[in-house]
Structure 1
Amino acid sequence: MNQALRTPAGRSKLAITDADFQKFREFFYRKTGIHFDDNKRYFVDKRLVERIEATGSEDFRHYFVGLRFERDGRELQQLVNSMTVNETYFLRESYQFDCMTNNLLDELLRHKPRGERIRIWSIPSSTGEEPYSIAMQLLERWPGIDQHEVEIFSSDIDTTVLQAAQRGIYSQRSVANVPKAWLDRYFKPVGNGEWAISRDLVAAVEFSQVNLSNPADTARFRDIDLIFCRNLLIYFDDVSRRAAAEALYDALRPGGFVCLGHSESMSRITSLYKVRRFADAMVYQKPLTGEAP
């Protein structure tokens, strides 16, 4: 049973019981595919209490009933925004961007009909650093950008970070790895140590909300040539991780590539993909039609 604890200042502080945590963890997993280990308990409890208080709910039980039976999904989205962690910066794990422009794009073009656009999908987008890094890398490091059209899609389950990505305002820490020439070309200082990214780059990326565990969301993405899905699958358990890997596979065109985070391995999840090792990075490829994994 929930208890109302009293802080020294006299404010009531809700407590999340073990049973509450288990109920919430199972519910959130069903909705998002994200599994919270026991070592995330403090983080989950803190965010849950914040949402209970923000909605004016009496306790966890009342909040959870309302959450389960709400019709418009607004509080669920607020909860998802609160529970997802978004920490990134420009040109993170840049060796994969080098692999993209040094190897992957040219190989992809050999198997695409002439004149067809290259389609790149970044998920999760977080606050936009990854898709904008992709765009800058293409403009600065890939000679083929003058001859080929490229579409960049970027998705996240968190609507708050999608709004931040489209706003395009970044801290000094976020742009610390951006070469000065790129910083001068694609950003402008806006005060308080912050930088605004070029609106042309913002317009070059198509942002959308996507839950990778929801087939209705991922079904919109097909014939993708290259997917960056970095540091997301580590938050899933084995079952939802495999389902996500299969969703990415379905989204790729034959011969397309997936880049994962440095601590992630597609080989431990599924045998659908081929492992490809290039000078800059190891990536995962959907076999060409008729080719074995």
Structure 2
Amino acid sequence: MTMKISPQEFSQFSSFFYDRTGIFFDESKRYFVDKRLIDRMRATNCHDVKTYLTHVGRKASAQEMQALTNSMTVNETYFFREAYQFDCLVRSMLAEVAPRKRPGETIKIWSLPCSSGEEPYSIVLYLLEYWPEISIYDVEIFGSDIDTGILASAERGLFSRRSVQNLSPDLLQRYFQRADGDRWQLNTDIRQSVSFSHVNILDPGDLARFSGVDVIFCRNLLIYFDEISRRAAAEALHGCLAPGGFLCLGHSESMSRISNLFQVRRLPEATVYQRPR
């Protein structure tokens, strides 16, 4: 049977999804949303949107809510994407963060959303390659996403040729093994250097374990939120940062238009946002 989503049903679904994730879909996303919503309706034998939302809304359907979330999130990334921010990390941000650490304290870096892992693994490679003090300090790197399927992929550390296209042959040889087909697998020690977890940035329970973070990479997430959700996300990120900690956004995002909680820092390599000390 051919299924179609009416404008009213699309609006109903958009409100439902927004309430639970903070992600807002407008009319320009109709084709993207309709296709994936119909796939989930068929998978659950629901013949209309109202029945499906009733099904997903039940507490017992948490697994389907996660499947829906996984299908509605976009994961577009590759190694060393917007590399100027990684340059900023090793040349400027860590130069301020590291001296504040007392013996035994850890530098914490968080990638959210981390998608299939290219961003947090890029951070690992940058620290190993371009930050001489990596041998002096203990560093914890976290990767989080709302999509559980993509987190499983990140933990496997298996990447396509497109994902590693910006890496030199030397980096590929030292940190990867050639896998099946035209894919590359990160070495085990690199994969084990990142801790992955499921996080909804608008769920205080998910964020409770993240505090005192020194640098957060939260790139190209806020563009999917409306003004209210952006402000809530900004407050959440501010709460997770250590005093003096830094926040990196995507090149088309600006915290200055969202919240006044952060100080704008125009460092030599990039503009970043800092929680005042």
Q: TM-score range by the shorter chain?
A: over 0.9
Aligned to 1:111: 100
Which 5+ residue runs of structure 2 have no aligned equivalent? none
Q: What is the Cα deviation at residue 68 of structure 1?
A: 1.3
Secondary structure at the aligned position of 2:165 is classed as coil
Matched, 1:90 2:79: yes
Aligned to 2:256: 267
The one-letter amino acid paired with 1:67 is V
Question: What is the RMSD of the two structures over their aligned residues, measured on CA atoms?
Answer: 0.9
Matched, 1:277 2:250: no
The one-letter amino acid paired with 1:27 is F
The one-letter amino acid paired with 2:212 is D
The one-letter amino acid paired with 2:122 is S
Q: What is the Cα deviation at residue 33 of structure 1?
A: 0.4
Aligned to 2:207: 218
Q: What is the Cα deviation at residue 72 of structure 1?
A: 4.4
Q: Deviations 1:210-229 (Å, cap 9, x if unpaired)?
A: 00011111121000000000
Kindly tell me the number of residue pairs found equivalent between the two proteins.
277
Secondary structure at the aligned position of 1:13 is classed as coil
Identity across the alignment (%): 54
Which range is displaced more, 57-66 or 273-282? 57-66
The one-letter amino acid paired with 1:13 is T
Aligned to 1:36: 25
Aligned to 2:89: 100
The one-letter amino acid paired with 1:105 is L
Distance 2:231 2:213 in 1: 19
For 1:1-293, list aligned pairs within 5 A. 12-288=1-277
The one-letter amino acid paired with 1:80 is T
Distance 2:137 2:170 in 1: 24
Q: Work out whether residues 255 and 286 of structure 1, in 8 Å CA contact, stay in contact via their aligned partners in 2.
A: yes
Q: What is the Cα deviation at residue 70 of structure 1?
A: 3.8
Distance 1:119 1:263 in 2: 25
Q: Please, what TM-score do these two structures have when normalized by structure 2?
A: 0.98
Q: Work out whether residues 116 and 153 of structure 2, in 8 Å CA contact, stay in contact via their aligned partners in 1.
A: yes
The one-letter amino acid paired with 2:95 is D
Which 5+ residue runs of structure 1 have no aligned equivalent? 1-11, 289-293
